[in-house]
Amino acid sequence: MIKLLFVNKACATFSDKIKLLILTLSLLVNIFSFAQDSLSAGQPSTLVRIGKTEVPNVDKNGYRIYPFNKKRVRLVTAANIAGYSAVLVGLNAAWYSQYPKTSFHFFNDNAEWLQVDKAGHLYASYIESRASNELWRWTGLPRKQRIWISGLSGVAYETIIETLDGFSAEYGWSWGDFSANMLGSALFTTQELAWDDQRIKLKFSFHKKNYGDAELNARANKIFGKSETERFFKDYNAATDWVSVNIKSFFTEAKVPPWLAVAFGYGAEGMFGARSNIAVDNNGVITFDRSEIRRYRQWYLSPDIDLTKIKTNKKGLRFLFVVLSAFKFPAPSLEFSKGNIKGHWLHF
């Protein structure tokens, strides 16, 4: 029997408290490129001149083709350097400066948080590469050059931050994080090279979680934070990361809307510590013990909407659709966990 529930899931997948900063930067630094018709589905096909050749102003997937523009290349380069430098300075002041520095060292965190944090690294590098691609598209760079620069950008951004972790006494360089970063950028790059499109998109959904228990809520406030922003950064129990597959892209003859997708999600529950639900202070005294709470993984199946495939002549809507396509559309879902199946009327 399938149990029907209403679920609020939060996605806070980035263990170093930087996912929102990086995602915000990626979106803001790309606003003007998105606004310049980065996705032009539904637009009349006119011609633009590239070199001595006149070609349609949109490609086969509806993305606008821009002629090469040196000024835009310089502008985008400067925006990336200045913007990312500002984020690093702010991150160091707000986060890393609070902890002592050490010599460079490694830290194996692969067993922590049931790997929900690794899913977050995968998503972060992917979305950074995807956002960077739209930015470089606006400059008119040659296709393969644009793709490789964008794909490597996601890895580069995350690797710099991973290096900062390597010099922090509280953390360390994580090969697991680095591998997830590489996979996220690789997912973007291989799809662009093969299809000139992202048929498989990584997404996330989030909402602040109430644990319904005074002790657990107090523990959550302590380790995850009290505000929406803090919970977004750190509450791994509330995380759902998604792989959204556009159906029409793979089955071109199927009589389905071009925006229809199916999403596969991953999350986890019952985690009130990185590796266990027992907390010990510096003197070895147990300050929290809820070891009876089971830590378990969750797998989801849900319909989704690929907003980038919705045709519209409104520039504002196209821009909004591209930005929102980084998030899972709220919809019913099936959850597979602890050997059972649950149905959720609405998952977000």
At residue 167, the 3 state secondary structure works out as: coil
pLDDT in tens, 119-149: 999 999 999 999 899 889 889 999 999 999 9
Answer for the pair 201, 64: CB distance below 8 angstroms, yes or no.
no
Per the model's pLDDT, the better-predicted residue between 48 and 216 turns out to be: 216
The number of domains in the chain is 1
- pLDDT interval class at 328 (50, 70, 90): very high
**Is the pLDDT score of 312 beyond 90?**
no
Spatial CA neighbour of 131 closest among 184, 91, 183, 78: 184
Spatial CA neighbour of 132 closest among 5, 25, 273: 25
Residue 184: its pLDDT value, please? 96
**Is the pLDDT score of 34 beyond 90?**
no
Per the model's pLDDT, the better-predicted residue between 115 and 80 turns out to be: 115
- pLDDT interval class at 13 (50, 70, 90): very low
Lookup: tokens for 230: 């803090």
Per the model's pLDDT, the better-predicted residue between 38 and 248 turns out to be: 248
Lookup: tokens for 342: 């649950």
Return all residues near 14 (Cβ < 8 A) that are at least 6 apart: 20, 22, 117, 120, 121, 124, 233
**Is the pLDDT score of 41 beyond 80?**
no
Residue 301: its pLDDT value, please? 97
Residue 133: its pLDDT value, please? 92
**Is the pLDDT score of 87 beyond 80?**
no
Q: In the predicted model, what is the mean pLDDT of the chain?
A: 82
Per the model's pLDDT, the better-predicted residue between 161 and 246 turns out to be: 246
Lookup: tokens for 144: 């393969």
Answer for the pair 204, 325: CB distance below 8 angstroms, yes or no.
no
**Is the pLDDT score of 60 beyond 80?**
no
Q: From residue 327, give the alpha-carbon distance in Å to each of 6, 21, 185, 205, 307.
A: 19, 16, 18, 6, 10
Per the model's pLDDT, the better-predicted residue between 188 and 83 turns out to be: 188
Per the model's pLDDT, the better-predicted residue between 56 and 114 turns out to be: 114
pLDDT in tens, 213-250: 999 999 999 988 888 877 887 899 998 999 999 999 99
Residue 94: its pLDDT value, please? 64
**Is the pLDDT score of 292 beyond 80?**
yes
**Is the pLDDT score of 10 beyond 60?**
no
Q: Is 108 exposed, middle or buried (0-12, 13-18, 19+ CB in 10 A)?
A: exposed
- Its pTM surpasses 0.85: no
**Is the pLDDT score of 21 beyond 90?**
no
Structural domain boundaries, residue 271? 3-347
Residue range 152-172: average pLDDT?
88
Spatial CA neighbour of 326 closest among 347, 299, 306, 298: 306
Residue range 48-73: average pLDDT?
70
**Is the pLDDT score of 83 beyond 60?**
yes
Percentages helix, strand, coil for the chain, rounded to the nearest 5? 45, 20, 35
